[in-house]
Structure 1
Amino acid sequence: MSSTLSRRSLLAGAGGLAFATLLPSVAQASGHHGSTLSVRGADLSFLPQLEEAGVRYRDLAGRVRPAEQIFAAQGANYIRLRVWVDPPDGYSDKARALALAKRAKRAGLKILLDPHYADFWADPGKQPIPASWPTDLPGLLTKIRTYTRDLLRDFARQGTPVDMIQIGNEITAGILWPVGQLYLPDGTQQWQSFTDLLKAGIKGAREGQPNAKIVLHIDRGGKMGDTRWFYDNITTYGVPFDIIGQSYYPMWHGSLAELQANLIDSVARYDKPVLIAELSYPWTFEDGDGRGNIVGPDTILPDADRFPATPAGQAGFYEAVRDVLKQVPDGRGLGFLAWEPEWIPGVGWQPGAEASNDNLTQFDFTGQALPSIRAYRRP
């Protein structure tokens, strides 16, 4: 996910290693309610900045604890970490991600790494080449490979090896624009250069940490046609990867029924497990910092009759997502990662800006955990 402006602009708009370590056991792999989700986690990339701004978090019992420990105590087993190349001061660069990885490992959490391959926000509306990187295809092929390799080696070197890595963030429209831009303004589709860059990044990941699972992450949770179009081409161009990653925000990506149909179709069509790499839902339509939110009273929630924008409605939504994932055949609905559920008021999406998602969190505006945090439990 990205900033308010970029998200609103979007509204208009083979192979792979064995992944047995991610899948439930055969006895649990029926794909129904008795199975265990093997990935239950959250992207907590803003956490250090929020703490520096004075934010504190309380668990369901009201005890002040570090947020990653609150999630782990509820059953979470993964953290997702965003990495920008050269962001504004204080934001998620490599050093900050490495430090947060140490905290995550102490809490017993595995790591999904999310390099944006950009200096700041990268998503389907923009994928800017980092200012210090080459701007030609040969140079970028070398750079994305060596950058990814070295990044994973740095995590492993400090004793926090990465368990999964995304090759880019929400890469539905390509990466490293304009060289790897998938859809050009004149209608041209650059699948060759885009997939060459993906392959180079994947090669670097394999060199840096051979056991890390490769995730290709798009933002089409409930949109089967768009998902097929993307991964059909990925398969045609022979991009090797392990896991299909989806963002699922129902206000943009469809109903839970559409999500379920798409996940089941993807598993059958591509013989890959699926992961909801980003997920959130409002617990209120109020605005915690009074400076504007991306989701508000005019937002259409496809299943609002079942899950209103209340703490109880949010908790019910997370339970329903768990059920959708458990019903993916053969245990291949790996699980979910909530997106920045700790991002309560205190830090803007860019310096001086608002916290545009402060009503999509799993803590209230004061830092008190909400009932939806129970969704991380193991069974």
Structure 2
Amino acid sequence: MKRVLTTLLLLAALLIVQQPAHAGGRLQIRGADISSLAKSEAFGGVYRDARGRRGDALRIMERAGLNYMRLKVWVNPADGYNTKERVLAVARRVKAQGMKLLIDFHYSDTWADPGKQFKPAAWAALPFEQLRQAVYDHTYDVLSALRRQGTTADMVQVGNEINGGLLWPDGSNANWPNTAALLNAGYDAVKRVSRSTKVVLHLANGGDNGLYRWWFDNAGAHGIRYDVIGLSYYGYWHGTLEAFQANINDVATRYGKPVVVVETAYPFTTADDDGWENIITSGEPFPGYPATPEGQSAMLTRVADIVRAVPDGLGLGLFTWEATWTGVKGNGWDPADPTTGNGWENQALFDYDDRALPAMRVLGHL
């Protein structure tokens, strides 16, 4: 009997050792940013599952195991996409598939990121108190419309990659009280619509612990309210995987907040599909991870494993950025210039034959 028990214990130990790195249970959030989808479809974009069967991109992703979609909101963009009306339409489709919804407010008519936080044209001349009210009103307007149609947002980003603040120059981090007033106006609007909706504050440079400590220490000192810390982590820009792991672990435990990677991605090829040079062209943009379907899957798995291992279960999951931004003519990066391409199609979750890549199913089961 003792020998049998010993054998069983050895077998159990062997099984534990042989479990894959992501065997600790599926992530709560297995998501994708699909902000480009409506425009892609309008310009003829087609999506197919891994077997080549044409279908609704959202249905294809849901069947692959994804459970959360991210949509950005611009105020008055030149091309008329990523507006409240467009977001409402896609949100209905997201919820119809049984998936959850993250709304990403840029508070701009175009891209907001660490290098630019341009005010919407309609807000450009507003005195600060009116600017703060505009943030509240815009946030409330979009989210209350979502609630009224039965598609309440589950999470909301108040700002996008706000390393240096938002709505420059008024909300720059050169004036933390102003930054706090604008962000808290967004927070209050979110909670007025739905107390259960989680507010995310999102920085880029996910491997830069000095940045995150400086930013969130100041956020605490100035009374900025939030529920979740969001990070962008692109390995080819934001440091080593070890630096990313050290940072995400530190901020989760230091501030006692859940963390989510709201942007990550990796190329599956170096080839171009739309005649506009890709942003990432290296055959191995991060050491050990080639720009192949296998390399894309491996990088997403590694990032997911790091999120899963965040102490105290505070790692929620990840979103791969612009999963549906395939090489469709007319669906370029500049909303004011229809001749632009996107430069990102080699990092989507659909290949150049419009088929779902292996990374989609990998992400759906992480």
TM-score normalised by length of structure 2: 0.90
CA contact under 8 A between 1:247 and 1:276: conserved in structure 2? yes
In 1, the alpha carbon distance for the partners of 2:22 and 2:91 equals 33
Where do 1:163-178 residues align within 5 Å?
A: 163-178=154-169
Letter in 2 for 1:163: D
In 2, the alpha carbon distance for the partners of 1:71 and 1:221 equals 26
Structure 1 residue 378, shift from structure 2 partner: 4.4
Where do 1:280-319 residues align within 5 Å?
A: 280-297=265-282, 301-302=285-286, 304-305=287-288, 307-319=289-301
Q: CA RMSD in A?
A: 1.6
Where do 1:153-302 residues align within 5 Å?
A: 153-182=144-173, 189-297=174-282, 301-302=285-286
In 2, the alpha carbon distance for the partners of 1:43 and 1:239 equals 26
Structure 1 moving runs of 4+ over 4 Å: none
CA contact under 8 A between 1:150 and 1:208: conserved in structure 2? no
In 1, the alpha carbon distance for the partners of 2:364 and 2:341 equals 32
In 1, the alpha carbon distance for the partners of 2:103 and 2:364 equals 22
For 1:39, the equivalent position in structure 2 comes to 29
Distance 1:60 1:32, change over 3 A: closer
**Residue of structure 1 aligned with 2:359, choices 365, 372, 375:** 372
**1:107-138 per-position Cα deviation (integer Å, ceiling 9, x unaligned):** 11111000111111111111111111253211
CA contact under 8 A between 1:148 and 1:208: conserved in structure 2? no
TM-score normalised by length of structure 1: 0.87
For 2:311, the equivalent position in structure 1 comes to 329
CA contact under 8 A between 1:85 and 1:119: conserved in structure 2? yes
**1:151-195 per-position Cα deviation (integer Å, ceiling 9, x unaligned):** 21100001100000000111111111111122xxxxxx2111111
In 1, the alpha carbon distance for the partners of 2:127 and 2:172 equals 13
Deviates more, 1:45-54 or 1:157-166: 45-54
CA contact under 8 A between 2:70 and 2:101: conserved in structure 1? yes
For 2:49, the equivalent position in structure 1 comes to 59
Unpaired runs of 5+ residues, structure 2, are 1-20
Structure 1 residue 312, shift from structure 2 partner: 0.7
For 2:11, the equivalent position in structure 1 comes to none
For 1:6, the equivalent position in structure 2 comes to none
Letter in 1 for 2:161: E
Q: Percent identity?
A: 43
Deviates more, 1:52-61 or 1:157-166: 52-61
Structure 1 residue 366, shift from structure 2 partner: 2.4
Structure 1 residue 146, shift from structure 2 partner: 1.7
**Residue of structure 2 aligned with 1:150, choices 141, 145, 169:** 141
Where do 1:31-180 residues align within 5 Å?
A: 33-133=23-123, 134-180=125-171
Size of the aligned set, in residue pairs, is 340
Q: State the structure with more CA Rg.
A: 2
Letter in 2 for 1:278: E
For 2:6, the equivalent position in structure 1 comes to none
